Amino acid sequence: MAGQQDPYFIVQRDVNDTLSSVQTRYTQLRSLPAAHSNRKPLLEELQEDCSSLEYMVSEIERSLDAAEANPARFRLSQAELSDRRRWAISARRQTSVLNEGLAAARTAADAAPRLTPASKLAAAVHEENDRFIASEADRQQALMSRQDEDLDVLGGHVVRIGELGREMGQELHMQGQLLDEFDEELEGTSTRLAAAQKKIQAVLDRTGSKGQLAIIGFLLVVLVLLVVLAIA
């Protein structure tokens, strides 16, 4: 019956899992204050689990006794029987240690004075404080998570503002270039206008005052003709 189908391996796995669970909760029991409301239910639960452990280990020990008496029937070698016996002894020893610790805890609990109303109130306040601290820690964690999300959103806005700033800078640079070109064109126009004014002044200087009066008269005649044509 050696192999994975052997019931021994199923029971062995259950015993190992139960031992690990009981040892973990026994450590938790030892850390609880004597007046803690969870101490008594946890102690009773651990004692029940230890009783189950004792039963399973006893069943394995009986099966090993039968296998050692007739190894050919169970198809187990001496090495396999020795390994199983060593494991059973170890499981029995661990269970005994746990039982002794739980018995001592039960004795201490029975010998402890009954809780007075004041001690019950103190225990209730202690539990309420524990619950408040746990809930406050959860609330703070949720608040920090929300703040992280807000910071992420704010960071996105800052990046967008930076991009808009760069776009505005590029636009201002282009506008500056256009203004520079306009200034150059305006400067060229001013230069040409100044040259034209110089030429006109030179013509006026050559024609003298009579020539200027003749030009003014000619321009007045042209203006009158234009007005007449506009009215007609």
Q: Helix/strand/coil (H, E, C) string of 21-42?
A: HHHHHHHHHHHCCCCCCCHHHH
What is the predicted pLDDT for the residue at 118? Answer: 66
Q: Is residue 97 part of a domain?
A: yes
Q: Is residue 149 part of a domain?
A: no
Helix (H, G, I), strand (E, B) or coil at 114: coil
What is the predicted pLDDT for the residue at 58? Answer: 93
Q: Is residue 204 part of a domain?
A: no
What is the helix (H) or strand (E) element at residue 6, kind and residue range? none
What is the predicted pLDDT for the residue at 136? Answer: 78
The number of domains in the chain is 1
Q: What is the largest CA-CA distance in the chain?
A: 156
Q: Is residue 92 part of a domain?
A: yes
What is the predicted pLDDT for the residue at 141? Answer: 76
What is the predicted pLDDT for the residue at 2? Answer: 46
Q: Is residue 70 part of a domain?
A: yes
What is the predicted pLDDT for the residue at 131? Answer: 79
Q: Is residue 73 part of a domain?
A: yes
Domain assignment of residue 97, given as a range = 7-113
Q: What does pTM read for this prediction? A: 0.46
Q: Report the CATH number that the domain containing residue 47 is assigned in CATH.
A: 1.20.58.90
What is the predicted pLDDT for the residue at 115? Answer: 54
First-to-last CA distance in the chain? 133
Q: Is residue 143 part of a domain?
A: no
Q: Is residue 127 part of a domain?
A: no
What is the predicted pLDDT for the residue at 3? Answer: 46
Residue stretches of the chain with pLDDT short of 50:
1-4
